[in-house]
Each structure stands twice: as C-alpha cells, then as structure tokens.
C-alpha cells in the first residue's frame, strides 16, 4: 500500500522546515499549498484532516466541482495556480483566495471587473516565464514592470507577489537559477514590501525554492502520490 497522505505530509513538512532552517528562515515563513488536481474530494479531506488548509487547483472547472464537493471547512482556502482565461474570471474569483497565474493585462482586467462587482479586492500573483519557454504560461521578464504598473492601476486587484514554473528537469538544482532570477525580479520591482510572496517550488524542487526565498510552495505528488 502507498504511504498515507498523513505520512507524506509529515515528510514534506519536515523537509520544508529543514530547508528553511538551513537558509536561516523561520519555518512559518513558507506556506504549503497542496496541489489537488486530479485528486478526489475524499483525498482533499484526508489532507485537511492532516492539517492542510491551503489547496491549489489548475482548472477553474475542477476547482468549482471540488470546492462544492468538499464544502466549506474552517480555515480552508483554495488557490488557482494554472493559466486563467478571461471568460473564467468570475468563477475563479468566487472561489479562490489567491490567483497565482496572472500573466496578461486582459486577465487582470477581467478579474478586477468581477472583483469590483462583488466589492472585493482580489490578491493575485503575476506569473513570470523566467526561462522564456515558448508555450509556457507567464509574462516575459522584460514586460513585468509594465504589467505590474497596469495592475497597480486596477483598484480591485492587488498584486502581492510573483510566481514561476521553471523548465522541468529531474535535477532539482537545475531550477535554482530560475528561482534566483524570480527573486531578483522581485527585488528590482519593489522588494518584499511591495511583493511579499514568491510562489515557486514543486514536489521535486521545493527545497531549492525555499533556499532561494519561496514563501509559497505548490506540492502535489509528494503528498498525494502520482496522479491518475
């Protein structure tokens, strides 16, 4: 039998704390977002019972369905971590505490419009395609400053940080330069006072991300096992 979610979580939390400690950071400085895409509502609840409170989904449709199945729970928050289409802005806004993948002005505008309708200020992260991979979500680093300025002009969204997904590699160290570049971009555009959150690091490279300053790590398979 596969190790339980509870056991996996304990291992992940220990490795997170160790990585934070090694780089002189408080363990509480890094938040675990459990990525539940293609996992059942039952497994979400198992993770919730083991102490997880932050959950991430890539697709708005799946987020809606799962949030309905799981129902409201004390302290539970959903994150939208994938690419977002403007026509899904309303649903994303209704369910997500934080939207990680904003990479275009049109998406920020759509979210701001919906947020204004419900009288909410939505926290968002701007996704940066640090490695400039074609077909990958995220804005080009050269337009980041302009995009941040455009977002700052929208009263109903508030950019609270940056997000990135480096090119996939089996070797976690390969991600380091991309995490470091995201950190440097953050310093260039206002530092932690303006952009407190850095969402970077997944199952295989979260320890490296924490060493490079991640405040949010998005972890799926290390908690839930391989996806179906």
Ligand X SMILES: *Cc1c(COP(=O)(O)O)cnc(C)c1O
Min separation Cβ 142 and ligand X, Å: 22
Question: Least distance from C-beta 119 to ligand X, angstroms?
Answer: 29
Q: Which residue's C-beta sits nearest to ligand X?
A: 220
Cβ-based nearer residue to ligand X, 84 or 147: 84
Nearer to ligand X, 58 or 156 (CB): 58
User: Measured from the CB of residue 31, what is the shortest distance to ligand X in angstroms?
Assistant: 13
- Tell me whether residue 141 or residue 201 sits nearer to ligand X (CB atom): 201
Burial class of residue 227 in the structure, from the number of CB atoms within 10 Å of its CB (0-12 exposed, 13-18 middle, 19+ buried) = exposed
**Minimum separation from the CB atom of position 79 to ligand X (A):** 10
Least gap, CB of 2 to ligand X (angstroms)? 15
Kindly tell me which of 48 and 224 has the beta carbon lying closer to ligand X.
Answer: 224
Q: Provide, rounded to whole angstroms, the least separation between the CB of residue 133 and ligand X.
A: 14
Footprint on this chain of ligand X (rule: CB under 6 A): 35, 37, 58, 81-82, 165, 202-203, 218-222
DSSP 103: -
Within a 13 Å sphere around the CA of 44, how many CA atoms are in the beta-carbon half?
Answer: 27
Looking at beta carbons only, is 37 or 176 nearer to ligand X? Answer: 37
Alpha carbons 227 and 95: distance in angstroms, whole number: 23
Q: Please, which contacts does 147-153 make with residues 24 or more away whose CB atoms are closer than 8 Å?
A: 147/103, 147/104, 147/105, 147/108, 148/189, 148/190, 150/105, 150/108, 151/102, 151/105, 151/108, 151/124, 151/126
Alpha-carbon span 177 to 196, nearest angstrom: 20
User: Of 58 and 129, which CB lies nearer to ligand X in the complex structure?
Assistant: 58
Question: What's the token pair of residue 66?
Answer: 């799962």
CB 98 within 8 A of CB 74: no
Question: CA 75, CA 23: separation in Å to the nearest integer?
Answer: 29
């Amino acid at each position: 039998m596969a190790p339980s979610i509870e056991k996996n979580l304990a291992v992940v939390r220990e490795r997170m704390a160790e990585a934070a400690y090694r780089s002189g950071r408080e363990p509480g400085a890094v938040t675990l977002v459990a990525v539940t895409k293609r996992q059942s509502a039952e497994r979400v609840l198992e993770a919730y019972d083991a102490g997880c409170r932050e959950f991430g989904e890539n697709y708005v449709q799946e987020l809606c369905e799962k949030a309905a199945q799981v129902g409201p729970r004390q302290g539970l928050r959903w994150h939208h971590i994938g690419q977002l289409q403007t026509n899904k802005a309303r649903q994303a806004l209704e369910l997500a505490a934080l939207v990680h993948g904003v990479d275009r002005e049109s998406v920020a505008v759509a979210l701001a419009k919906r947020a204004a309708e419900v009288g909410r200020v939505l926290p968002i992260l701007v996704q940066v395609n640090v490695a400039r991979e074609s077909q990958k979500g995220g804005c080009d680093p050269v337009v980041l400053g302009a995009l941040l300025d455009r977002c700052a002009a929208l009263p109903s969204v508030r950019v609270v940080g940056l997000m990135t997904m480096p090119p996939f590699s089996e070797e976690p160290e390969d991600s380091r330069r991309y995490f470091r570049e995201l950190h440097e971009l953050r310093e260039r555009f206002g530092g932690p006072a303006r952009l407190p959150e850095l969402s970077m690091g997944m199952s295989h490279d979260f320890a490296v991300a924490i060493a490079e300053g991640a405040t949010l790590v998005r972890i799926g398979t290390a908690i839930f096992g391989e996806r179906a």
